[in-house]
Amino acid sequence: MLENPFRPGFGSWPPAFVGRERDELLFREGLANGPGGRYHRSLVTGPRGVGKTVLLASFRDIAESEGYITIAVDANDGMIRRICRDLRLVEVALADNPTWKISEVRAGASIGVASGHIELTRPAVDGVLDDDPMVVLKPLLERVEAAIVGRGGAGLLLTVDELHAAKTSELERLGNDLQHLQSVVFAGAALPTIDDQIFNSAGATFFSRLARFALEPLSIAESLSALRPPFDEHNIGYNDLELTKTVDQTQGYPYLVQLLGYEIWHRLEPGDAITESLLSAAYEAAHEQSIFDVLQPTWRQLSPSSKRVLGVIAANGPGPMATADVREKLDKSSSWFSVYRSRLINAGMLQAAGRGFVELAGGERAAEWILNQLIDQ
């Protein structure tokens, strides 16, 4: 069979990117409306595998086609240093090539920092980061933005993925600096747990004010249009009703949809059509894999008490549950529960659901899976 076109990997670009047209439109409007406009600075949130990383990538594509230079980093330890390093790469590239116009750069051999449009080598910036990144970030942002605009570019877009993993001190630095540099476009992505981190942190006003793209799973129609194109292109037959029924089971989780496509393709021999039994075997495999990838690694590290807390919440079903009811079922004090609540939120298993409520981060699928784990024990 031909190479599998599906891309079930965190952060990998799917064969068909679907269902995020509205988010893309708002992002475009944010660029067009400029500083102070609502979507000029935004935060993409949602559970694991919902498509935050790929949406940020599509934002970068949009911005680059509008003449922006983009910088993309992940937010684990050293985030500020990496942003400074990439800013320096852009600065040096522009200084070394005084005749470059951003539009030519875009059309030409392509200069790219993270997304592949400025080909620069690290040694070119030796020495830059002898300075403390926390101190040089703001002047660097200012200089690079001015240099880009000076060369006919539209401006600078900074994207930061996995913001929930940032160190508080770095998050505060970035927030403070961006607050004072209105023209830099910013888009972050984070698990919904970021909210607790933001509200607990004194200097994080910037992040709590960002326009929000709260990603939901895809609709069934969208999930189908993420799956069908590769099969249609290769004239692989399927029964629409059967395919729809299988896709319905994914509940529109983009990661699971990609896994399903992958598993279907994987089972096809040249000339085959997609049969009902192939579909159910493929779904079975995809479902198991998705649970394994999303929940299992976290679950293994949880204490028995944390698992009990999750068991009570899972037994209540998907959707918010009052913390008072959880405590009553466990017969625990509110101070005991608040420790586990924040631990499980930080682990990405729970999410706050309004004052006095908690909710499983993975919804119905997570509830089923957790209950099965507890039965098996």
Ligand X SMILES: Nc1ncnc2c1ncn2[C@@H]1O[C@H](COP(=O)(O)OP(=O)(O)OP(=O)(O)O)[C@@H](O)[C@H]1O
Report d(CA 108, CA 106) in Å as an integer.
Answer: 6
Q: Which stretch binds ligand X (CB under 6 A): 47-55, 61-69, 103-111, 177-185?
A: 47-55
Binding mask 212-231 toward ligand X (x if CB under 6 A, else -) reads: --------------x-----
Smallest gap from Cβ 17 to Mg ion, in A, equals 14
Which position among 186, 238, 255, 299 is part of the footprint of ligand X (CB under 6 A)? Answer: 255
What length is written for the chain?
377
* C-beta of 7 vs 138, nearer to ligand X: 7
254 interacts with, out of ligand X, Mg ion, none, CB within 5 to 8 A per kind: ligand X
Report d(CA 120, CA 104) in Å as an integer.
Answer: 16
Kindly list the residues in this chain that would bind Mg ion in the complex (CB under 5 A). 52-53
Cα angle 187-45-33, degrees, rounded to a multiple of 5: 35
Residue 171 neighbours by CB distance under 10 Å = 26
Which position among 5, 11, 229, 363 is part of the footprint of ligand X (CB under 6 A)? Answer: 11
Could you say whether residue 76 binds ligand X (CB under 6 A)? no
* C-beta of 191 vs 345, nearer to Mg ion: 191
* C-beta of 197 vs 258, nearer to ligand X: 258
Q: Which two tokens stand for residue 189?
A: 């992505």
Q: Which stretch binds ligand X (CB under 6 A): 82-90, 139-147, 251-259, 355-363?
A: 251-259
* C-beta of 125 vs 163, nearer to Mg ion: 163
DSSP 275: -
In contact, 286 and 256? CB cutoff 8 Å: yes
Decide: helix, strand or coil at residue 89. helix
18 interacts with, out of ligand X, Mg ion, none, CB within 5 to 8 A per kind: ligand X
Which position among 40, 41, 43, 53 is part of the footprint of ligand X (CB under 6 A)? Answer: 53
Q: Which stretch binds ligand X (CB under 6 A): 43-51, 127-135, 268-276, 349-357?
A: 43-51
* C-beta of 49 vs 67, nearer to ligand X: 49
Helix axes 304-315 and 323-330, enclosed angle (nearest 10): 120
DSSP 178-238: HHH-TTSEEEEEE-TTHHHHHHH-TT-HHHHTSEEEE--PPPHHHHHHHHHHHHHHTT--B
In contact, 69 and 148? CB cutoff 8 Å: yes
Q: Which stretch binds ligand X (CB under 6 A): 16-24, 240-248, 295-303, 313-321?
A: 16-24
H-type helices in 97-202, by residue range? Answer: 102-107, 133-150, 168-180, 194-200
Smallest gap from Cβ 294 to Mg ion, in A, equals 12
Which position among 30, 133, 230, 254 is part of the footprint of ligand X (CB under 6 A)? Answer: 254
320 interacts with, out of Mg ion, ligand X, none, CB within 5 to 8 A per kind: none
In contact, 10 and 56? CB cutoff 8 Å: no
In contact, 239 and 263? CB cutoff 8 Å: no
292 interacts with, out of Mg ion, ligand X, none, CB within 5 to 8 A per kind: none
Q: Which two tokens stand for residue 310?
A: 């999750």
Report d(CA 368, CA 249) in Å as an integer.
Answer: 13
* C-beta of 158 vs 278, nearer to Mg ion: 158
Smallest gap from Cβ 162 to Mg ion, in A, equals 6
Residues in the interface with ligand X (CB under 6 A) total 25
Q: Which stretch binds ligand X (CB under 6 A): 10-18, 25-33, 165-173, 241-249?
A: 10-18
Which position among 258, 290, 306, 323 is part of the footprint of ligand X (CB under 6 A)? Answer: 258
81 interacts with, out of Mg ion, ligand X, none, CB within 5 to 8 A per kind: none
Report d(CA 177, CA 174) in Å as an integer.
Answer: 5
Report d(CA 291, CA 364) in Å as an integer.
Answer: 12
In contact, 256 and 293? CB cutoff 8 Å: no
**What stretch of H or E contains 304?**
helix 304-315
Which position among 4, 5, 9, 276 is part of the footprint of ligand X (CB under 6 A)? Answer: 9
72 interacts with, out of ligand X, Mg ion, none, CB within 5 to 8 A per kind: none
Report d(CA 82, CA 129) in Å as an integer.
Answer: 10
What residues make contact with ligand X under the rule CB under 6 A? 7-14, 17-20, 46, 48-54, 191, 226, 254-255, 258
